[in-house]
Amino acid sequence: MNTRRVLSGFSLHSFFVIAVLIPVALWGQGDRGTINGTVTDETGAVIPGAKVEITNAKTGVVTTTETGINGVYYMPNMLFGEYNIAAESDGFKRAEVLGLRLNVGSEIQQSFALEIGAVTETVEVSAAQVQVQTTSGAVGSAVQIEQMMELPLAGRNIFNLVNLVPGAYRSRNGNISIGGGRTRSAGSYIDGINNTRGGLGVQNIEMVPPIDSMQEFKVEVNSMGAEYGRSSAGAVQAATRSGTNEYHGSLYHFVRNDVFDAIGWNQVSKPTLRRNQGGVSIGGPIKKNKTFFFVNSDLFLNPFTRDRIRSVGRPEFRTGDFSRAFQNRRGNPVLVPIHDPDTRKAGSFTRPRLSDPFPNQQIPAGRFDPVAVKALSYLPQPTPGWEPRNPANQSGNWVEQIPRNVTRTYNTIKINHNYTAKWSTFLRTIISKNAVVDAYSDGYGVADPNAINNEQLRQNWGLNNTYMFSPTNFVAVLVGFNRVYIDRFSGDCCDTDYAELLGMPGFEKGGEAFPRFNFNSRIPMTGIGAGYAKRVAAFTNFDYEANFTRIHGDHTLKYGGKYTSFQGNELARPQPSGNWNLGASTQGNGQRGVAGMSTPASDSLTSC
């Protein structure tokens, strides 16, 4: 237990100290986009020194810059959102375009042709044209909040919408393939922070934040910028919501219940289902045009039962009677001969070892192994009245509705602050705790092979700073960490020494989980025992990302770097009672030295 406290006791104080002490010379892109364009007069001549005003339509935050000697303005590191852009210069009417949308990691190109007139006059365009990005070869698509909220989405998992993006695919087990790349190879980020524990190369999506806490996400299929890095198959960049100048909130509850369901095909009875997901979100100004907040709290409760179908063999197998030990061969039952290992004769490669079958397929009680007898006492009898899935070999002859309980919480907090028109920052945290409890069945009890208690605590923190030194020099800071803490144990761990209970010698440290017995045979038999005792692990990624943007004449220079530090700590006792594979002692060898068929029950009874 002391080890567990050490692993889970990471001090957030250390993180904040590191974040504050990072030199201003570091900078990062995160979930930012770019706005640029050219300002000319009606003849097409460029206007140097024109003032360009970029206003966030929701927060009222104003960012100003001016055009260079080539008439070009460039504003990187802009938060996603809706913008109004205006340009003005002495002797010309002010021009303004409203309602331009900047997506995550995207670019808006908006140029202006100013008309001669007084600055007090304004030419306003309300309907912006569709933006086509021409300065980058990156291929990708953004999935926006409207799609997340309006489309029917099973489980409210936003990453299911990856399938809307051409060139990307998300499978039923949650793995994502982008641009034809291997699954679990794509980068995953939330507000620019790693959303994966992939210190050893595997890039799994770790957090799936609630829809109500997300603004949008973008899937980069190929030719993405170098700032993504460490990805061999595209990237998914998600962005959380921010507060605005107006208070907005939501209260939601989604429910599924077996009362609304019909009994499924091939079910004993209708499984119970009590699935509830609800939450609340609110965002708004702390100080208008300057400081904003957003908070979301989401709770998921899902206790239910499901049919667990297994193979437990015929009842007479337990007494050593294998006269009806059949395998399924093209739909027909074929007897499996049971051989006596004590009659095995010496042989060679050209002369196979042969053994004699037990008379009448009967194993004498005196040959039963005492460990196997104790272990098989935990194996339930076939379910009365239940039709096996395959009558030929009696596979699937046991069924029971087993309870499973899934709980999950998500808490998201984000603070945006604008110190000046040149300096802005945000701090965001997401903390999620989830638990999956697979109870052991009444039939198998503590020997249930699927009884697991898995608890996980996830955290994702991000701090982002951006600063504009001049209209041609920009920097930003991105620091964050992603942490996963796992506490996993079998359903009956860890108070009983099963190695001693079953009479299995040689376990100096004890066997605090029911041992795993695997039956390797042509006759279907489900193994018993989870075997997995306990696993305590913590995986942490620290991210430090740096980019710098400088405009020099007709050229825009971007350079920087990214550093990710991975830490992994693990304490595990996966198989303290052993993992036993049974299936050799009663096999009879064929004509060319090829092992014949075996029965798991006979092996269990004769050897361990």
The DSSP call for residue 272 is P
- Average pLDDT over the chain reads 81
- Per the listing, tokens 């999620």 go with 432
Architecture of domain 138-241: Beta Complex (2.170)
353 vs 293, which has greater pLDDT? 293
The per-residue pLDDT for range 264-287, each reduced to its tens digit, is 776 777 888 999 999 999 999 999
Cα-Cα-Cα-Cα dihedral sign, residues 507, 509, 511, 513: negative
Mean local confidence (pLDDT), 325-336: 85
Residue 493, preceding bond cis, omega within 30 degrees?
Answer: no
| Domain map (residue ranges) of the chain | 31-128, 138-241, 312-396+578-606
Neighbours of 421 (CB within 10 A): 14
Banded pLDDT at 126 (limits 50, 70, 90): low
pLDDT grade, residue 600 (50/70/90)? very low
Q: Which of 365, 436, 451 is nearest to 406 (CA)?
A: 436
For the residues of 128-188, what is the DSSP string, one character each? PPPP---S---EEEEEEHHHHHHS--GGG-GGGGGGGSTTEEE-TTS-EEETTPPTT-SEE
Rounded to the nearest 5°, which phi and psi values hold at 103? -90, 170
- To 10 degrees, the CA torsion angle through 36, 426, 194, 234? -20
CA distance 414 to 195: 17
Half-sphere exposure of 112 (CA within 13 A, CB side): 34
Q: What is the fold of 31-128?
A: Immunoglobulin-like (2.60.40)
> How large is the average pLDDT for residues 451-459?
93
Tell me what the mean pLDDT of segment 76-101 comes to. 90
The residues, ordered by sequence, that sit 6+ positions from 231 with a Cβ below 8 Å of its Cβ are 185, 186, 187, 203, 224
pLDDT of residue 583: 64
One-letter amino acid at 441 equals S
pLDDT in tens, 490-535: 878 888 888 888 888 776 666 788 888 888 777 888 999 887 788 8
Q: Is the pLDDT of residue 591 over 70?
A: no
Q: How far apart are CA 251 and CA 395, in angstroms?
A: 48
